[in-house]
Amino acid sequence: MPIVLCLPIKASPPSLQDNSADLDRLKKVACESLGNIPLVIPWRQAGQVARNFRQAGFQGAALINQVEGRSELIDFLPCLPAVLPAMALDLGTTYLEASLIDLLSGKRLAQAHHPNGQIPFGDDVLSRIHVADRGTGLSDLQKAVIASINELSLLLADQAKVEPHHIRAMSVSGNPTMVHLFLGLDPHHMCREPYIPLVNAPDTAQAFELGLAINPAAPVYLLPGVGSYFGGDLISGILASGLDQQEETSMLIDVGTNAEVVLGNRDWLIACAGAAGPALEGGVARMGMRAGPGAIEHISINPKSREVAWQTIEHLPACGLCGSGIIDLVAGLYLAGIIDRRGKFRPGSDPARLIDTEGGFQYVVVAESQAAAGRAVVLEQVDLDALMRSKAAMYAILSTLLSQVGIAFSDLHRIYVAGAFGRHIAPRQAITLGMLPDLPLTVYQPIGNSSLSGAEKVLLEDEARQRCRQIMQKITYIELNVNQEFMLRFSGSKFIPHTNHSLFPSVPVFDW
């Protein structure tokens, strides 16, 4: 059952013999077709519903929001609509991605993305939490993200050729900080031990309350989270991967601005999260960028000739490196002997491209003459260092989590890789760097933006909404911020592929 139900109604007109009131008449007919569940007509909508019901001659379609514990009849249409659009939103720290889903057919009507208008207030969740602590910060942040979402709903409505007020529901999948700021709830305690969010499973709000420019009575469903660093975006990933329904044990990796990992099967789920992401989202490297048009998504370096081949998204002139591009590049640099096992440039290893500048060594990926806007795409030592930290953190997170339940990487049935990272990354290169475990490539399965696909799922199925609550109750969350084992494993992972080379038999080791 979708989150908004479109129920055909055929009531007999009132008469002296059958003089029940308009809304009571409507409610009775609707209740009967719904199997006598509790149904209310909220005061705010009562006048309009009654007017429409009478004007339509007591026949048409009732729109019924499915919210916690009850159904709310919020509108009446003279006939069944052709589509019933609802908006699924992946509420990212950096980017918002959204789609418009038809609740009648389940079809996707439109898809769009937009930068998160909170970026000027700070790049990551921590800096935004600090902004929220000061003066009007919380309200400013909320207004900024609502404005971005309103831009997105305009884009989507435009694409689908509907009006924004035709959008009858919204689902939101985001990390807990983003969800708090979206709701205008104070995130203060989330970054302070013991890291407690104000709410993990917020109840459904209404669009007008939040200032959303869609139908005012649209229910706004928030995917529940588990802890301060484990939000609805990852519950979405579990929903989309089916991790919680399989007999075999698998793993889900979602790399956004943060890295979040879930391990488990239909009987148990364990999860953790850590700061692994910035370098991989293109948010840290000077030439880093999001996986969008003009971003170099794949690079190979010929280990002998040191020639570089690259490919950009949409085959446009290169303007930067996205996460998968950086991983390919660094893996290639290592195999070609241009960087060493510690991730440091080796002076003189590639005179044509490795240039010594005042700010240190720079590797020229794409020369000025070939790059977009005549600006060379380069990689600096500082970018390399950031990537080394990211990849070390990632492997440490994965191995710490496995050690908690006493299983080995080889016991995993699948590793689902979510997010833009998952869509573009070549697991082979990530294995070379020692970022992902050395497993057969068939184990890795990219699942795209699962935060968005989970948000789409909950719009369409109440089973998915129930699964969210079950996952939330079943999952055990490990707090890595205070985990000693994680810190040890992080240090061991700071080499390519690892200090313990036997963990990566498929990766050659060079002794430069």
Query: Which residues of the chain form contacts with its own copies (CB under 8 A)?
Result: 14-16, 19-24, 38-44, 46-47, 50-51, 54, 67-70, 183-186, 189, 193-203, 205-206, 209-210, 225, 227-228, 477, 479, 482
Report in angstroms how near the CB of residue 14 gets to its own copies at its nearest: 4
Report in angstroms how near the CB of residue 199 gets to its own copies at its nearest: 4
Name all contacts of 438-442 with Cβ < 8 Å and 24+ positions apart.
438/409, 438/497, 438/503, 438/504, 438/505, 438/506, 438/507, 439/409, 439/410, 439/412, 439/415
CA 61 to chain centre: 34
Mapped onto helix, strand or coil, the DSSP state of residue 440 is coil
Question: CB under 8 Å to 134, separation ≥6 — which residues?
Answer: none
Residue 392 per-residue DSSP state: H
Report in angstroms how near the CB of residue 232 gets to its own copies at its nearest: 12
Report in angstroms how near the CB of residue 10 gets to its own copies at its nearest: 18
Report in angstroms how near the CB of residue 245 gets to its own copies at its nearest: 24
Residue among 183 and 354 whose Cβ is closer to its own copies? 183
Distance CA 215, CA 357 (A): 56
Residue among 311 and 473 whose Cβ is closer to its own copies? 473
Report in angstroms how near the CB of residue 191 gets to its own copies at its nearest: 13
Report in angstroms how near the CB of residue 38 gets to its own copies at its nearest: 3
Q: Whose structure tokens read 């005179």? A: 351
Residue among 149 and 326 whose Cβ is closer to its own copies? 149
Question: Is 247 exposed, middle or buried (CB count within 10 Å of its CB: 0-12, 13-18, 19+)?
Answer: exposed
Residue among 44 and 423 whose Cβ is closer to its own copies? 44
Positions of E strands within 68-155: 70-77, 85-91, 95-102, 108-115
Residue among 19 and 305 whose Cβ is closer to its own copies? 19
Radius of gyration, alpha carbons of the chain: 26
Residue among 69 and 359 whose Cβ is closer to its own copies? 69
Residue among 67 and 126 whose Cβ is closer to its own copies? 67
Residue among 235 and 418 whose Cβ is closer to its own copies? 235
Report in angstroms how near the CB of residue 18 gets to its own copies at its nearest: 8
Task: Give one DSSP letter per residue of 176-190, joined into a string.
Answer: HHHHHHHHT---GGG
Report in angstroms how near the CB of residue 19 gets to its own copies at its nearest: 6
Report in angstroms how near the CB of residue 201 gets to its own copies at its nearest: 6
Task: Give one DSSP letter per residue of 130-168, joined into a string.
Answer: HHHTSTTHHHHHHHHHHHHHHHHHHHHHHHHT--GGG--
Residue among 14 and 81 whose Cβ is closer to its own copies? 14
Strand ranges of the sheet holding 308-312, from the earlier edge strand across to the other edge:
308-312, 295-301, 320-321
Distance CA 202, CA 135 (A): 24
Report in angstroms how near the CB of residue 230 gets to its own copies at its nearest: 10
Report in angstroms how near the CB of residue 195 gets to its own copies at its nearest: 6
Say what angle helices 137-160 and 176-183 make with each other, to 10 degrees. Answer: 90
Alpha helices per DSSP H over 184-298: 207-210, 232-241
Residues 77, 79, 85: CA angle, nearest 5 degrees: 70
- The answer to whether the CB of 338 falls within 8 A of the CB of 350 is yes
Distance CA 278, CA 143 (A): 25
Helices vs strands, H then E, count in the chain: 14, 22
Residue among 51 and 342 whose Cβ is closer to its own copies? 51
Residue among 60 and 283 whose Cβ is closer to its own copies? 60
Relative to beta strand 59-67, strand 4-10 is antiparallel
Question: CB under 8 Å to 16, separation ≥6 — which residues?
Answer: none
Residue among 31 and 155 whose Cβ is closer to its own copies? 31
